[in-house]
Structure 1
Amino acid sequence: MMERVDKTTKMSGDERRIQLIKVAISLFSRKGFNGTTTKEIAESAGVSEATLFKHFANKHELYNAILDYKSCEAGIEQIFTLFEEAAQRDLDEKDVFYQMMLQILNYHEKDEEFLRLLLHSALDGHEFAQLFVSRKIAPLYESMSHYINGRQKKRILRGDLPARLIVRAFIGMLIHHSMNKLLWDKEQRLVKASNEEVANVFSEILLSGIRNGDKKR
């Protein structure tokens, strides 16, 4: 539930900008993009539409601001850095996959609101979904594929498997698990496991299928 805004509260420009982003996220996650207007965002934040457009010239700027804000919270840039460092330092794939899976699962658990927002954007066919893919998912595919290709060249991982399909399997397991917890199995009656256990099992399942059979690691 969204907090009631005190219209008498004086905020700095940065504070107001963050407040507007949070209000927009809350409304988009509950009502979808097509069901939320800029007027409603402004009213819920206790400001005029003119104030909203002072901070965000148009909806596209607001969408980008939401992505930047959430990316910072989630540590998405750290995930990209993890794969870059892993490729440079030749880190073991089990440790790399486990750490990344755990970080993503922890964030999904912490911020169900953003998962709902992403789901709404996809179902609505909204531009935010494509913006998220182009700005965050596509770079993730690139960084992961680069790391996987390096391990394939060293014959540690199977070279006959397309790197991007491995990435999709990796992401798919996490999204399916998190969506189950969010939508259908909130009380964890089907599966009850800690994020650490899930990350460990999922990474082992994935690696058992993509490692070269003659490599004992």
Structure 2
Amino acid sequence: MSGHGSVAVIMEPVTEPRPRRRMSGSERREQLIRISRTLFAEKGFDGTSIEEIAATAQVSKPVVYEHFGGKEGVYAVVVDREMQKLLTMITEALAASHSLIKVERAALALLQYIEESSEGFRILVRDSHAASGTGTFASLISEIASQVEDVLADEFAARGYDPKSAPMYAQMLVGMVALTGQWWLEVRKPGREEVAAHLVNLAWNGLRGLNPQPAISAVTRARDTAPPKPRPSSEKELRELEKARERELKEAEKVRQRELKEAEKARVRELKERERLLKEAEKAREREDKIRQREAKLAERAARLEQVDQSE
């Protein structure tokens, strides 16, 4: 070591940035589907490009082509998933034992899907692009209507109506609910349950028998907020489930009878109000007739007085 002062240089170890974990093929596929779903919902099929999907995922275009073959492929997967999700929710809702409960739960299921999967519903109603390979939104509505058709056919037969009309009524009912859902997608007011109550009010009671203050039945409300129950695995559980269904049916019938009574009371009030207005109108006409008669008498008297004056 020399006599001159020396400075010891301490070399710190150089730490290289850790390489980003490479996604597996299935993870990359799910990422691309997620990103594409958001872009399709925001910009539509025609407004979204492969370049944009790849750039958002930070991959090259060939990666997207490798997984889906192109924009049409990823769009078809996105649409198919949304349709299956919505159909599953509607199918589960239609498993109830009473027709009124089925209609309530189906309406709530659609609104729940819109609330929880707004992007998916926006894709279904916005584009309905033929590239989806699974059909348009109209075909989805028809598929749901075919399930509702069975419900209506049973209800029609029980009430003495022609079951052959069920397909037509099913299209009307599902179309009404779907269009209301498109409107509610944007406004989100009133709340989901209130919208469903008014939908069922119109569908179940008709314009003539509308309930002035509709509400979802307690049976449906309890199911909508309760966690899903496991499937029965024994005869005892099956018997208990059947008893629960019977109680549900009785409760639904009570609700229906109560709603019918309320609707009847509303009709009676309306009739009384009409009678009152008719009576008031009749009294007003009688008063006008008396006034006209009095005026006619006064005019006649004035005319006689004038003749007397002229003769004098």
Query: TM-score if structure 2 supplies the norm length?
Result: 0.53
Q: What amino acid does structure 1 have at the position aligned with 2:88?
A: E
Unaligned residue ranges in structure 1 (runs of 5+): 1-6
- Which of 201, 226, 240 is equivalent to 1:204? 201
Matched, 1:79 2:90: yes
Number of aligned residue pairs: 192
**Partner residue of 1:172?**
175
- Cα deviation for residue 37 of structure 1 reads 1.6
Q: Secondary structure at the match of 1:32?
A: helix
Q: What amino acid does structure 1 have at the position aligned with 2:118?
A: E
- Cα deviation for residue 159 of structure 1 reads 2.8
CA distances 1:37-57 after superposition (whole Å, capped 9, x unpaired): 222212211112221122212
* Distance in 1 between residues matched to 2:133 and 2:125, nearest whole Å: 8
Q: Is the 8 A contact 1:121 1:127 kept in 2?
A: no
- Which of 101, 104, 112 is equivalent to 1:106? 112
Q: What amino acid does structure 2 have at the position aligned with 1:54?
A: E
**Partner residue of 2:270?**
none
Q: What amino acid does structure 2 have at the position aligned with 1:141?
A: A
Q: Is the 8 A contact 2:44 2:126 kept in 1?
A: yes
Matched, 1:152 2:156: yes
Q: What amino acid does structure 2 have at the position aligned with 1:201?
A: H
Q: What amino acid does structure 2 have at the position aligned with 1:28?
A: F
Matched, 1:53 2:65: yes
CA distances 1:189-214 after superposition (whole Å, capped 9, x unpaired): xxx3x21222122112201239xxxx
* Distance in 2 between residues matched to 1:169 and 1:28, nearest whole Å: 29
Q: Is the 8 A contact 2:37 2:120 kept in 1?
A: yes
- Which of 137, 143, 146 is equivalent to 1:142? 146
Matched, 1:92 2:103: no
Q: Larger relative contact order (C-alpha < 8 A, sep ≥ 6)?
A: 1
Q: Is the 8 A contact 1:33 1:126 kept in 2?
A: no
Cα–Cα, structure 1 residues 106 and 129, in superposed 2: closer, same or farther, change >3 Å?
farther
What percentage of aligned pairs have identical amino acids? 24
Cα–Cα, structure 1 residues 137 and 117, in superposed 2: closer, same or farther, change >3 Å?
same
- Cα deviation for residue 134 of structure 1 reads 7.3
CA distances 1:15-38 after superposition (whole Å, capped 9, x unpaired): 211111111111112212112122
* Bigger radius of gyration among the two: 2
Q: What amino acid does structure 2 have at the position aligned with 1:143?
A: Q
CA RMSD, Structure 1 to Structure 2 (Å): 3.2
Query: TM-score if structure 1 supplies the norm length?
Result: 0.72
**Partner residue of 2:192?**
195
Cα–Cα, structure 1 residues 78 and 112, in superposed 2: closer, same or farther, change >3 Å?
closer
Q: Is the 8 A contact 2:51 2:61 kept in 1?
A: yes
CA distances 1:45-88 after superposition (whole Å, capped 9, x unpaired): 1112221122212444323311343245x4522422543x45xx
- Cα deviation for residue 154 of structure 1 reads 2.2
Unaligned residue ranges in structure 2 (runs of 5+): 1-18, 208-252, 258-312
